[in-house]
Structures are given as C-alpha cells and as structure tokens.
Structure 1
Amino acid sequence: MTYVIAQPCVDLKDKACVDECPVDCIYEGPRKMYINPDECVDCGACEPVCPVEAIFYEDALPAEWAGYGNADREVFALAGVSGGGSAAGVMTADHPVVEEEPVKTS
C-alpha cells in the first residue's frame, strides 16, 4: 500500500507535500503531482499538509477517484522516471486519467 494524489490536485499543484516528503517520492507532472509507489515509505507526512485534501492512503481513496491509484502507479512505467522527484524535473506527460479531466481555471 502507498499514498495516492487524487483529482483535487489536478491543475493546482500546491507542492506543500513535496517539502514534507522525507524520501523525495513526489514527482511533478504537467497538471498534477504524483507519488511513486515504489519509493513511498507510507509515512503519511504529505497527507495533512495538502491544502486541497488530495492525498489519500490507497485503501481510503474515494471510489469516484479510484483511477488515480492506477494513475500514480502507471505514470512511472510510462515516463520511466525514478530516483527522487526533486531532481527529475517536470514529467513530459500526465497519465491519461489526468489528461481527460477538464482544465480548471483559477
């Protein structure tokens, strides 16, 4: 199990979670932040600092955002990035579940 960043993060990307993560497992996509499940140590430090309450333990992910659990896993296979989010820069593409979301404007 791991933590997942869900739909409320799309087009907001506050990044407070990045500062709290002790293992640097949070990566930036064009529209959303992603947690690498292979690097996450399940400490939960990111969850309480998220201002839009987008971070959930995988088992507690609301059913309406279930696809975001797969997105956080699959985006790393698609992008081929690992080794720490701070050095990775912004990924070139989001997962399709994020790309399908309507763009939020302010």
Structure 2
Amino acid sequence: MTYIVTEQCIACKYMDCVEVCPVDCFYEGENMLVIHPDECIDCGVCEPECPVEAIRPALTADDDEWVEFNGKYARIWPNITEIGEVPANAKEMQGVPDKLNLFSEKPGTGS
C-alpha cells in the first residue's frame, strides 16, 4: 500500500507533509504535491500533517487512479524535501470542490 495525494491539494499545496516524510517521497508540481508510490513506506506520518486532508492511504480499487496519477507526476516533477512557499490564495482554495480542472502539469521549483 502507499499513501496518495488527492485533488484537495490542488491550489492549496501546503507542504507540512514534506517536512515529516522520512524517505523524501514528495514531488512538487506548480500547484500540487504528489507522493511517489514506489518510494512511500506507508508510515502514515504525512497524513495528519495535511491541513486540507488531501493525503490518504490507497486502500481500494477506486484509489488506483490516484496511485497512477501520483506515480506519473512523481517521475517528472522535482523532489521536494523542505517546505516552500505556499500559494497566496491557499486558504481561499481550501474545501473548493472539483479542483481537478485547476490542475497544472507544470513542475514546481523543487525548493
């Protein structure tokens, strides 16, 4: 099993999770983070750190799409190991439904 980052992260991109990850398996896009499913050790320390509850364990077949999504972008985005700059409108974007249409495939800075 792995943990996944879901669409609640889009346009919020809080990075508290990055600081606690013991294996540095987070990767940064322009407006979202993802977890590399092959690097995640299933420790779960990242899940409670996410203020928007965008991180969860991949437990069901319904989560397979998010596992694939996280894996795809983890292979092309830069690894991130420290908290970077949170988007200015992150608080406003919390709880906004259907944020997948706001998703950017562009990589982040990897800061």
Same fold (TM over 0.5): yes
Q: Matched residues, percent identical?
A: 37
Higher RCO (CA 8 Å, separation ≥ 6 residues) = 2
* Contact 2:37/2:67, CA 8 A, preserved across alignment: no
Aligned positions of 1:42-81 closer than 5 A: 42-59=42-59, 63=62, 67-77=65-75, 79=76
Structure 2: runs of 5 or more not aligned: 83-98, 104-111
For the aligned residues, what is the CA RMSD?
Answer: 2.7
Q: Once superposed, which parts of structure 1, at least 4 consecutive aligned residues long, lie more than 6 Å away?
A: none
Letter in 1 for 2:102: P
TM-score (norm 2): 0.66
Structure 1: runs of 5 or more not aligned: 88-98
Match of 2:107 in 1: none
Mapped partners of 1:100, 1:53: distance in 2: 16
Number of aligned residue pairs: 88
TM-score (norm 1): 0.69
Mapped partners of 2:77, 2:27: distance in 1: 12
